[in-house]
Amino acid sequence: MPSEKQVWLAADEVHQTGERVTQERVIALLQKRGRGGSTRQVGPHLLSWKVARNYRPRLEVKGLPERLQGELVAFVERVWDVALVEASLRYKDDRLKVEIEGRAARELMDETFVNEEVAIRENETLKSRLAEMEVEMAALRKRVSDMVAHEFWDRVMREIEGVLPESGWVPDHGVLDLLPPSLAREAIARDKPLTRGRLNKQMGIRVTHTKYFVSEEREDGGTFYRRRAG
């Protein structure tokens, strides 16, 4: 935590560069010197420095022609000097000190408010991006899950193709008996047990796309399958 003396020295150094003396610049200089400091720690000391130095921020004239810059600065300085003279005639020293202190305090508060506004907006942007990423991750997880499920069922269908005869018909309830127990256990682990209904659905999809099997509906309502030739 920087002391008042360290803050004053840093403020003097910033002032000597010709730049505007702000909390941000003073804190940056303190951190460069290895002393650190937050706005809560530096603010009161910087306020007392501005009051003691009767600090007046220089007018920002960037963007104007050089000749106009000089004239504008000179004009503002003349106006300011006249205003100080008039103020000193109207008010006592203690009243002027209070006015200067209030002006410096408002400047510090405005600077803090701006910094807080920037932080709030950055936080809102991060929250929005996080929400977008969560949606993207959910879509990606579903896509991966669908791909894994598709690969599993295609493997089951190829296994059935390998055990079904090409010339004879097998009833749908008999297909389960042809599959190895390890495949049934894997299906249970995936929370998708190999039931008669699921097999009929998946095999029906392949039949529709002329893959692996040929099916036949019998008059008694049963479905029979055989391996597709070739």
Alpha-carbon distances, residue 97 vs 52, 88, 92, 103 (angstroms): 9, 10, 9, 10
Residue 224 pLDDT exceeds 90: yes
| C-alpha atoms less than 13 angstroms from C-alpha of 230 in its C-beta half-sphere | 2
Higher-confidence residue: 157 or 37? 157
Q: At 80, is the pLDDT very low, low, confident or very high (cuts 50, 70, 90)?
A: low
Tell me what the mean pLDDT of segment 156-162 comes to: 90
Q: Measured between alpha carbons, how far is 8 from 48 in angstroms, rounded to an integer?
A: 9
3-class secondary structure per residue, 134-154: HHHHHHHHHHHHHHHHHHHHH
Q: What is the DSSP letter of 94?
A: H
Q: What percent of the chain has pLDDT over 90?
A: 11
Angle at 204 between CA 199 and CA 205, to 5 degrees: 105
Residue 59, token pair as written in the block: 């007018």
Instruction: Name 153's Cβ contacts closer than 8 Å, sequence gap at least 6.
Output: 202
Query: 214 in helix, strand or coil?
Result: strand
Angle between helices 66-90 and 93-163 (to 10 degrees): 130
Residue 146, token pair as written in the block: 């669908």
pLDDT tens, residue by residue, 121-158 = 888 888 888 888 898 999 888 888 888 888 888 889 89
- Phi, psi dihedrals of residue 81, rounded to the nearest 5°: -65, -40
Its pTM surpasses 0.75: no
Q: What is the DSSP letter of 217?
A: E
Higher-confidence residue: 60 or 29? 29
Alpha-carbon distances, residue 152 vs 84, 147, 149, 191 (angstroms): 85, 9, 5, 12
pLDDT tens, residue by residue, 186-210 = 888 877 888 889 889 999 999 999 8
Report pLDDT for 166.
87
Report pLDDT for 189.
85
Q: At 90, is the pLDDT very low, low, confident or very high (cuts 50, 70, 90)?
A: low
Tell me what the mean pLDDT of segment 26-38 comes to: 84
Q: Measured between alpha carbons, how far is 73 from 79 in angstroms, rounded to an integer?
A: 10
